[in-house]
Structure 1
Amino acid sequence: MKKNSHAYTNLINRNNFTAIMWNSFKNGFKSYLQLEKSLSDNSVEAYLRDVDKLCFYLVGIGEEKPPKSIELKDLQAFVKFLASLGLTAASQARTISGIKGFYKYLLSENAVSTDPTELLELPKLKRALPDILSFGEIEKIIGAIDLSKAEGHRNKAILETMYSCGLRVGELVNLKVSCLYLEDGFVRVIGKGDKERLVPIGEEAIQFIRYYLSERKKNKIAKDFEDVVFLNNRGKTLSRVMIFLIIKDLVKKAGIKKVISPHTFRHSFATHLVEGGADLRAVQEMLGHESITTTEIYTHLDKHFLRTTLQQFHPAFKR
């Protein structure tokens, strides 16, 4: 929609009545997303852009409808409009999800009596299964760390923690010393939307974190970064890009040809749990997924794993 932003502005300027009708609801929606849903600024802006797209469409076709007058047929026509712009199925689904969130808010505020998005179908998405690492490959990558280097023990603690806890890279770089409960075998993680969760941490990871923290005291730590666990050589928070580069270098040294990112360790953590028979709800809690449907991708990974195992070892599959 970026290329249409000027067209949107021009249309809105010519039709202030429609803009005024929708802007008051948008402002309330913005406050709801910030205060009640605790979403990041980027997420809030994405939701508001989705509502803007619908408003743009209505103004463009000459419809001066307030949100309460929108019907399912209007939204179905809007979806066709999105497709005509060349938006992918994933982008269409993202926009529709934003509109659904908007109407969920309006319904909660009694601004509408019915939700026209309730029967609106999302485009079918082909969800690609992410690359995962076997336990042996993870051991090989961690084994490629040069512990004689100053950052060696830090990097080992990083990878052990990523795999042991299934953390997002943002959660890893923002992990706080005050959130480590190593005696109890847990870490407190601040996830998406500032939601907190307790995640178990393995003995290996605990051992390497403790060693790294004892070594870290010998280096200068920048002011206000004392509570950050993993620091760069300037004593400040590591960037996400730095974590990616560390892993990329180790994967190359380990001779692994898969396309690996920090998120691969999270996928591998979840997949190995499911393969081992872990309850899906428990995996959902540890990953910090808001919806169980997000976690269910790992059941598909599990089936893929089972089939691959059968093909490799079962005589009937080797004929």
Structure 2
Amino acid sequence: MSQDEAAVLVPAAGRFLDHVRLALALSPNTVRDYRTALNHLQAAMSALELGGPEQLGPDEVAACMGWLRDQRKLAAPTLALCLVAWRMWARYLVEEGLLVHDRIALTPSPKLWRSVPEVLNPEEVERLLANPPEGPLRARDKAALELLYALGGRASEVVGLGVTDLKEHGRLALLRGKGSKERLVPIGERANRAVRAYRDGLRRELDPRGRQEALLLGAAGGPWHRQGLWRLVRDAAQLAGITKPVWPHLLRHSFATHLLHGGADLRAVQALLGHASLT
């Protein structure tokens, strides 16, 4: 079975493809193109650690487009076809009662995702890290942003950190990556200070009895989720005046790129990322 014919995992994909083939009477070639577009969407959502279609708004679609452009080397016409297919799929989910709000429809013209950058420059990173939203959870948000960039971690790795995963007085973090692979990554003094300030203050208020192992906690005192980290990165970028789409994985790429530009060894950077390549 070819990649184009392989079963896609996005919700109701098979039913949607049957719908466009039978109810809309689209040609076999068009149905095949739509299947491929959904396969691309599944790959991008998995790589960027997105959940279901309810999370797909303009920023997330831009992130998926950027990933497909950079990692799958998809050209602009192919990406345009993908967006058409994704919009039709989301509209079908709404019609079937499987999705409440179709936020993919809010995605603007392709100019947005054609200009998605591969990385943030160092000055943009500094501005983003300096702009966690004001509010009662600002200390947590500051720690989360600092950790995300300092560790070069995936969103799931950062929100999955436990208190006991901080080693050597907070100078190292034990990250658990894909396939349950573990690696120790240095945190850096600035991120360490932000984490200490959060642990000594807000975190004790959120978990006064010390029952939670998770380092980053939500407003109710339970473990935080990666969707919250996505929103935090987006909001901090907006507060920093960064107009291009920003998502957690972009900070991971920025971390690696800045190290390489600073003269770091390629294999050392790959080890820090916990990956065989820089993607």
Could you tell me the TM-score, scaled by structure 1's length? 0.52
Q: Which residue of 2 aligns with 1:58?
A: none
TM-superposed CA distance for 1:224, in Å, is: 9.1
**Larger Rg computed on CA atoms:** 1
Query: Which of 118, 135, 141 lines up with 1:131 in the alignment?
Result: 118
SS in 1 for 2:220: coil
Question: How many angstroms apart in 2 are the aligned matches of 1:241 and 1:202?
Answer: 25
TM-superposed CA distance for 1:222, in Å, is: 8.9
TM-superposed CA distance for 1:186, in Å, is: 1.1
Q: CA RMSD in A?
A: 3.5
Contact residue 244 and residue 262 of structure 1 kept, 8 A? yes
Query: Which of 127, 140, 162 lines up with 2:148 in the alignment?
Result: 162
TM-superposed CA distance for 1:208, in Å, is: 0.7
Paired residue total: 189
The reply on whether 1:264 has 2:243 as its aligned counterpart is no
TM-superposed CA distance for 1:130, in Å, is: 5.3
The reply on whether 1:142 has 2:132 as its aligned counterpart is no
Change (3 A) 1:127 1:160: farther
C-alpha deviations, 1:175-220, integer Å up to 9, x for none? 0111101437211111111110111111000111011001135424
Q: Which residue of 1 aligns with 2:192?
A: 206
Q: Which residue of 2 aligns with 1:180?
A: 166
Change (3 A) 1:83 1:135: same
Aligned pairs (5 A) from 1:48-127: 85-86=32-33, 87-88=35-36, 91=39, 125-126=72-73
Which structure features the higher share of helix residues?
A: 1
- Identical positions, percent: 35
By relative contact order (CA 8 Å, sep 6+), the higher-ranking structure is: 2
Question: How many angstroms apart in 2 are the aligned matches of 1:192 and 1:127?
Answer: 25
- Opposite residue 32 of structure 2, the aligned amino acid is L
Change (3 A) 1:90 1:275: farther
**More divergent stretch after superposition (222-231 vs 256-265):** 222-231
Contact residue 154 and residue 252 of structure 2 kept, 8 A? yes
Question: How many angstroms apart in 1 are the aligned matches of 2:184 and 2:233?
Answer: 25
SS in 1 for 2:201: helix
Contact residue 222 and residue 235 of structure 1 kept, 8 A? no
Question: How many angstroms apart in 1 are the aligned matches of 2:240 and 2:118?
Answer: 17
- Opposite residue 253 of structure 1, the aligned amino acid is L
Contact residue 137 and residue 202 of structure 2 kept, 8 A? no
Change (3 A) 1:283 1:133: same
The reply on whether 1:195 has 2:181 as its aligned counterpart is yes
Contact residue 167 and residue 266 of structure 1 kept, 8 A? yes
